[in-house]
Amino acid sequence: MSDIVHDSYSFLKSAFAVEGSFLPTKDVIKWLQKQNEEVYVNIRKTNFDELSNWIIDCNNIRHESGKFFSIDGINIKTNWGTICEWEQPIINQPEIGYLGFISKEFNGVLHFLMQAKIEPGNVNYVQLSPTLQATRSNYSQVHNGKKPLYLEYFQNAKPNQILLDQLQSEQGARFLRKRNRNIIIKVDEDLPLHKNFIWLTLGQLKQLMLHNNLVNMDTRTVISGIPFGSFEPEVIDFYNYLYYKNNTNEISQALLKSTLINKGSLHSIENIITFLTQKKSIYDLDVNKIQINKLKNWIVRENEIVHVDNKFFKIIAVDVEIGNREVVNWSQPMVEPAQEGLCAFVCKEINGILHFAVQTKLECGNHDIIEFAPTVQCLTGNYKLTKRGDLPFLEYVLNANKDQIIFDTLQSEEGGRFYKEQNRNMIIIGKEDIPLELPDNYIWMTLNQLSTFLKFNNYLNIQARSLIAAISFV
C-alpha cells in the first residue's frame, strides 16, 4: 500500500471513529467547561489611545514593534458586481503563521492533539484549537512571552512525518492577502500532555462541530484539507460495506461517495480550472492603501472606527487578560461585526453523485482575485434584510425543510482578530426544484473535486473550508 493511500485510509478510519481512546465525546464539552472555569479571563473594550504598545496616527493603527498586524485603510476598484469602488479598514498581517496538528495512532486509530484555547474574541472563550496556533510574531517571541507549546515538533518535522502541508487564505473581506500554513504531522513517540490539551479522533471533532462554537475556525480550516483519496466505484462499495453494513444512513453514504469517487462528475477538473481562469481573466481587483482617517463613509472615534450607516463591521480596541496564555495581559484592536452572517452549501444529486453548488467570489483581500465560496455567503451585509431575489439561493436556504438540512450550527470566526463574530453554517440537500443550470458565477462540484482544489493554495475560501470540515460520514 502506498503512503498516500495509507494516510488516506488512516484519516478515513479516524473520521468514522466517533469515540476515541481517551475522553468520551459527550464528556469533551464538560472538559471544555472545566477549562473555562479554571482560567481567569477579562476582556474589556477601551479607547484607542489606551492601547499599550500600539501606535495610532492618521496613517493606520500598528504595533510599535512593526510586527503582529496593523489596521490599514484601503481603496478598492473592481469591475465585479454592482459596486465598483469603495473604501474600508482592513487587517494587514503579512506574516505566515502556523495552524498545526500533531497526530498519533492510539489503538490503531489516528488521534489529533487538541488545545483548549481562549481567544479574546471567542463568544464562549474556550474553544478547541489546533495543537499549534501561532503567528510568526508569537512564536518568534516578539511579545517577550513564552514559546508556544509543541512548536519544536513542527520546526523539526521530517518530510515523512508531514501528512498535510498547505498555505490557505483567511477571510478575504477582512484580511489583506493573509495566509497561514495549515499542517498536520504524525509522531510515534510519547509526548508530554499539558493541562489544556486532549487527544481526539477526527470523528469526535466532527461530532463536536454539531454544537455551536466549540471547534474554532483554525481547527476547521486545517481539517478541511484532509485528503481521503480518490477511488474506483468497486473500492467505494467495499467502504460502504465496511462502514455501513449495520445502518442505512443514505445521506452519509452519499457524502462518502461524493468524497471518494473520481468519476462521473458533471464537470471535469480541467473544465473547472478553465471556468475559474476565465473569471480571473475578466475581473479586476485594484487595492491601494490610503490614510485611515481619510476613509470615505467611515468615522474615526476615540473608541471605534465605524461606517456612517453602522453597517458591515467596526474596528474597536480591547484590553485583554487571559491567565494561561504565553502573555497574560495585552491590548489590541479587533474587528466587531455589525450582524450575524450566513454561509451555506446547497447540494444536488447529479448522475448518482452528490454535487455542491459552488460560487466564484471576489473579495478585496483575496490573494488571487477570486476564490471558490459556498453557495450562499452573507458576511458583510445583513442577509435578513436582503430583497427577495437579489441573492441566488438565499430564500431556498432560509426556507429549507428540516429533512433537507444536514448541518446547521453557529460557528465562530477567528477569535484572535474578530470580536464575538459567529455565523450560521448550513448544508442543504436540494430537491428536484434545484435546476441543473446555475447562475453565471456558479458551478457544480463533487466533494472529491473540492478536495482536489484544497491540495493547492488559494482556491477555496475559508467559509467554504469551514463547511467542508463539518461534513461527517456517520
Q: Write the pLDDT tens digit of every residue in 117-151.
A: 999 999 999 999 999 998 887 777 765 667 899 99
Residue 158 carries which side chain, given as an amino acid letter? K
How many structural domains compose the chain? 3
Q: Give strand ranges (E) for 338-397.
A: 341-350, 353-362, 370-373, 376-378
Same domain, 75 and 193: no
Residues ≥6 apart with Cβ < 8 Å to 367 = 169, 177, 179, 457, 458
User: Do you know the residue count of the chain?
Assistant: 474
Same domain, 124 and 8: yes
Same domain, 399 and 456: yes
Supply the pLDDT for residue 2: 57
Judging by DSSP bridges, how do beta strands 179-186 and 54-56 pair with one another?
unpaired
Task: Examine residue 474 and state whether it is found in any structural domain, yes or no.
Answer: no
For 26-85, the pLDDT digits (tens) are 999 999 999 999 988 999 999 999 999 999 999 999 999 999 999 999 999 999 999 999
Same domain, 332 and 202: no
Distances (CA, A) of 342 to 52, 122, 225, 298, 453: 35, 18, 22, 24, 23
Confidence of residue 457 (pLDDT cuts 50, 70, 90): confident
Task: Examine residue 240 and state whether it is found in any structural domain, yes or no.
Answer: yes
pLDDT at 174 over 70: yes
Task: Examine residue 300 and state whether it is found in any structural domain, yes or no.
Answer: no
pTM of the model: 0.95
Confidence of residue 4 (pLDDT cuts 50, 70, 90): low
Q: What is the mean pLDDT of the chain?
A: 94
Q: Residue 244's CB: how many other CB atoms inside 10 A? A: 17
Task: Examine residue 293 and state whether it is found in any structural domain, yes or no.
Answer: no
Radius of gyration over every alpha carbon of the chain, rounded to an integer in angstroms: 22
Look at 237-241, 381-385, 422-426 and tell me which has the smallest mean pLDDT: 381-385
Supply the pLDDT for residue 136: 84
Same domain, 194 and 171: yes
Report the CATH number that the domain containing residue 408 is assigned in CATH.
Answer: 3.90.79.40
pLDDT at 449 over 90: yes
Same domain, 104 and 29: yes
For 195-208, the pLDDT digits (tens) are 999 999 999 999 99
Same domain, 176 and 276: no
Same domain, 212 and 69: no
Same domain, 125 and 29: yes
Task: Examine residue 210 and state whether it is found in any structural domain, yes or no.
Answer: yes
pLDDT at 404 over 60: yes
Q: Which three cell numbers stand for residue 285?
A: 481587483
For 247-274, the pLDDT digits (tens) are 768 999 999 999 999 999 999 999 999 9
Q: Within 285-404, where are the H helices?
A: 394-398
pLDDT at 10 over 80: yes
Residue 188 carries which side chain, given as an amino acid letter? D
Supply the pLDDT for residue 21: 97
Buried b / exposed e across 274-301, counting CB within 10 Å, b at 16+? ebbeebeeebebeeeeeebeebeebebe
Domain that holds residue 398: 233-284+339-469
Task: Examine residue 301 and state whether it is found in any structural domain, yes or no.
Answer: no
Supply the pLDDT for residue 370: 97
Supply the pLDDT for residue 380: 77
| The last residue of a domain, from among 207, 224, 241 | 224
| The last residue of a domain, from among 204, 224, 244 | 224
pLDDT at 323 over 90: no
Average pLDDT value for residue range 387-395: 88
Distances (CA, A) of 324 to 133, 147, 260, 308: 14, 13, 41, 38
Average pLDDT value for residue range 391-408: 96
Same domain, 357 and 446: yes
Tell the burial category of 472 from Cβ atoms under 10 Å away from its Cβ (0-12, 13-18, 19+).
Answer: buried
Task: Examine residue 289 and state whether it is found in any structural domain, yes or no.
Answer: no
Q: What percent of the chain has pLDDT over 90?
A: 85
Supply the pLDDT for residue 239: 85
Average pLDDT value for residue range 457-463: 95
Same domain, 105 and 210: yes
Residue 160 carries which side chain, given as an amino acid letter? N
Same domain, 247 and 173: no
Q: Give strand ranges (E) for 67-219.
A: 70-78, 85-92, 97-106, 109-118, 126-129, 132-134, 162-169, 179-186, 197-201
Task: Examine residue 102 and state whether it is found in any structural domain, yes or no.
Answer: yes
pLDDT at 348 over 80: yes
Q: Which three cell numbers stand for residue 299?
A: 468615522
